[in-house]
Chain A
Amino acid sequence: MNIIVDKHATGVKARSTQTIMLLVLLALAPGILSYTVFISPLVIFNIIFAVCSAIALEWFAVHLRGDNGLNSIKDGSIALAAALLALCVPPALPFWQLFIGVLIMVMLGKQVFGGIGHNPFNPAMVGYAALLVSFPQSMTFWFTAAEWSAMGMQKPPLLSLLNAKLSLDIIASTPNIQWDGLTQATPLEHARSLRLQSLPQSSTELNQRAFGSGWIQTSLGFLLGGVFLLYKKVIRWHIPVSVIGSFALLSLLFSTNSLSLPWSLLTGAMMLGAFFIATDPVSAASSRRAQLVFGTGIGALTFVIREFGGYPEGFAFAVLLMNLSVPLIDHIDLLMSQRA
């Protein structure tokens, strides 16, 4: 068939899928940088490991279907998903567990549905949630560079930590490190455990702790990247604003946490999630109005799970829950616009 719309004659050059993915990866850079500096340099290893294994698995899966595996790697979507997964898991997660997460992400999150554009769920969040329910201990095992010094302890050399990451069980394999002395908790988990034990919570102490842990700095890095994406019009404001807005509103009204609002927005995965994860166009709702509903749902569910649920951070589950509601949201949105 002949050419229907002659793009060349109009001189318009559209941004390719590849460019979009590369821009998002670029926008992750400030967040990754502050993560490395303020939380743990191990994240670099996690990212490299996750991206490489994801690319290999993607190539393998596409190859199995008899298609050209290189084409689907080239668009960069799987590298982005792998980087996001690596940024969500604790830095000390053993490599074999991370590999299982990547495997689930690529195979069950993406390829089984037909690859890019067909997956109803956010692949990175499928991998993350699967890891969280499978390895609850290592998936809630956080420590940060700042905490080492705060506890007045000698920071173990990077090499021995890497060595530990290569082993099956990080705690058993490093007897020379006093793991028990560490808090092993993100500020969110700490606040939650205080609340559950009905211990007195001091707002300033919690806030300081959150800052000291490096989470605030890292979240600011992701926020910066998110603003960059908004500026470059890679993402639209609807999802991030509705996610953060609904979460903030509910926190203001109902929170029993003494972590102050800006702090609770800047600890945990809120910034990374609102700008980089929830905005994944494939698994998000279609129209702008439906996207507002989608984002509001994510914010609200995150709040509910954080506040009342069994997990300190509910972002991944909130995204998955809203992902599975997307077809219904789109359907209702369509019915409403038809009536209008």
Chain B
Amino acid sequence: MGMFGKEKKACMQGPLLFGFHGGLQLQPNKRALQNSTDPITELEAPHELVIPLLDYNKNSIAPQVELNQHVNRGQLLAAGIIAPATGQVMAIEPRHIIHPETIKANAVVLEVDKASDNQSVHMANQANHDSTAWDTQLSAFLNMPDNVLQQSALYGLGGAGFPTASKLDAALGGIQTLIINAAECEPEIACDEALMQTEATHIARGIDALVQLTQCRHCLLAIEDSMPAAIDAMSAALKSINAQVKLTVIPTIYPTGAESSLIQTLTGRFIPHNEKPSDHGIVCFNVATAYALYQAIGGKALDSRVVSLGGSAMPNPLNVRVRFGSSVEAILLATGNASVINTARLRAGGPLSGFDLDTPQVPITAQTNALLAEPCITETPAQPCIRCGECSDVCPAKLLPQQLHWYAMSDDHEKCQQLNLDACIECGCCDLVCPASIKLTQSFRYAKSKAKHIAQHQQKTLDAEQRFALHEARVAKRKQEKAHAIEQRKQSLKARSKPQSDQIKAALERAKLSAKSKKPR
């Protein structure tokens, strides 16, 4: 249990909760909500939007639009990617993407046509507030769910960004428990809390749609005890539409928001990393995804998200709703935070799961839940590990980080697999408690990506071997065929020459005969 054993006990409270191994109680520090009067500020689409053409696995995909083409908001740019605003395609070229290290990927650059874009916003809002239409829309959706899911390009807004349609496909039928994840346990991130405060009714409708679609037995909405306003708003909203959803208040322990930890807290079931929750009759959606589904049913595609601007160096922390593809720089400029661009360290995502940005000229995506500005610091260099075991006490995946770190650093990938590295959810708890300031999480990320690379390489090696074997076989066969052909040619020549020689023989015979016959003469 360790240094933070008390937290575990706190986790056990309440009759329905089970708790999970390890974890840490962190200060919520939600500056984005504390300092502003409005939970969410709507931002206008910036002049330029950059939409990277990458799929869920970060592979490049081909664009379905052409240069200088005019696109409408919601129009498909590529498979599963839609235009977040109305405008013109200015370029399709490699651009920087939001990433721990500056790298480029092929992207569609849109010049936003502000006038017609504002028109679309207005129309969408009108459609949304027309509550009588909801029932017809919902029944249409339940009849033909695929139409809506594909048109609106829904993906999870929790962080992994998994396409919602595939998740629902895999989960449909045999779902016992639907879990709506509103446990926003990482410090500084307040986007879900803000959303629940402002859009509770719409979220409730989205959840209700999910319940009816999956026909699950129970639906649990999990909210952390540190956000009372959101809890009140959601319970009122759920009551008002009479949804079959049980609101569960869970203790604020990082990383409750991680899917596996949340499932364990709510159901007591530990899902091994190589199994899917749907194998156990459970499916999880983020609360923001439920809201996005609500909008999609109303005909509005997923093209924006709430981002928390926070961090101790952010002068004007707040939550903003921004279009996908807006650059970090544009967002900071529009919110009066331009000063941090040169003075502070910018970070995408939370303090534990996020990463620092080298440049603010990168577009945000569905996974960007927060932008933080922190003072520039020099990290304490790592000391040798004394195997104290604090890390394994806080590890929510029940791993042995101290041993894993050794093997990760000495590139012993076989041993890492044995120690179950793949089960690591990279939550960063081990880094926080390590007395020797060892960068455990980074070494695990390194080892994971390296192992993936090695696996890919091995596949390539195997393919190369097969191709070589086929090549050799083909060369050998061709050689044999050639030899065979030469042989046949010889044979056929011989065969052709045979009758000839017979004829000659016969001719000679005849000649001899005639000579003989002539002799007596």
Asked if the two chains touch in their complex, CB atoms less than 8 Å apart, one says: yes
Q: Which residues of A contact B (CB under 8 A)?
A: 1-12, 14-17, 19-20, 75, 77, 115-118, 233, 236, 281-282, 284, 286-288, 330, 334, 338
B384 interface contact, C-beta 8 A: yes
Which residues of B have CB within 8 Å of A233? 2-3, 5
Known: A1-B101, A3-B377, A12-B26. 11 other contacts (CB 8 A): A5-B441, A6-B374, A16-B436, A17-B435, A75-B383, A116-B386, A117-B385, A281-B389, A287-B400, A288-B389, A330-B403
The complex places the Cα of A330 from the Cα of B354 at a distance, in Å, of 33
Which residues of B have CB within 8 Å of A10? 26-27, 187, 351-352, 432
* Given A11-B29, A286-B392, A116 contacting B442 (CB threshold 8 A): no
| Leading 9 A-B pairs by shortest Cβ distance | A2-B356, A117-B384, A9-B351, A6-B351, A5-B431, A5-B428, A4-B442, A12-B432, A281-B387
Q: Is the interface of B mostly helix, strand, loop or mixed?
A: loop
Please count how many residues in chain B sit with their CB below 8 Å of the partner chain's CB atoms.
54
Check B441 against A116 for contact (C-beta < 8 Å). Answer: no
B347-388: CB near A (< 8 Å → 1, else 0) gives: 100011011111000000000000010110101000111111
Which residues of A have CB within 8 Å of B101? 1
B308 interface contact, C-beta 8 A: no
* Given A10-B351, A12-B24, A116 contacting B384 (CB threshold 8 A): yes
Check B435 against A14 for contact (C-beta < 8 Å). Answer: yes
B321 interface contact, C-beta 8 A: no
A234 and chain B: residue at smallest CB distance: B388
Which residues of B have CB within 8 Å of A118? 384
Check B436 against A17 for contact (C-beta < 8 Å). Answer: yes
CB distance from B210 to the nearest CB of A (A): 32
Check A286 against B432 for contact (C-beta < 8 Å). Answer: no
Check B27 against A286 for contact (C-beta < 8 Å). Answer: no
Which residues of A have CB within 8 Å of B433? 12, 14
The complex places the Cα of A6 from the Cα of B379 at a distance, in Å, of 9
* Given A9-B372, A117-B384, A233-B5, A16 contacting B27 (CB threshold 8 A): no
Check A3 against B352 for contact (C-beta < 8 Å). Answer: no
Residue of B356, B389, B432, B436 touching A3 (CB-CB under 8 A): B356
B349 and chain A: residue at smallest CB distance: A6
The complex places the Cα of A14 from the Cα of B431 at a distance, in Å, of 9
The complex places the Cα of A19 from the Cα of B386 at a distance, in Å, of 13
Which residues of A have CB within 8 Å of B181? none
Check A14 against B434 for contact (C-beta < 8 Å). Answer: yes
Within 8 A of A (CB), among B292-324: 311-312
The complex places the Cα of A282 from the Cα of B5 at a distance, in Å, of 22
The complex places the Cα of A11 from the Cα of B356 at a distance, in Å, of 18
Which residues of A have CB within 8 Å of B400? 286-287
B173 interface contact, C-beta 8 A: no
The complex places the Cα of A12 from the Cα of B431 at a distance, in Å, of 10
Check A8 against B432 for contact (C-beta < 8 Å). Answer: no
28 CB < 8 A contacts A-B: A1-B101, A1-B442, A2-B355, A3-B377, A4-B431, A4-B441, A4-B445, A5-B431, A7-B431, A8-B351, A9-B311, A9-B312, A10-B27, A10-B351, A10-B432, A11-B27, A12-B432, A14-B434, A15-B435, A17-B435, A20-B386, A20-B435, A117-B384, A236-B2, A287-B392, A288-B389, A334-B419, A338-B418
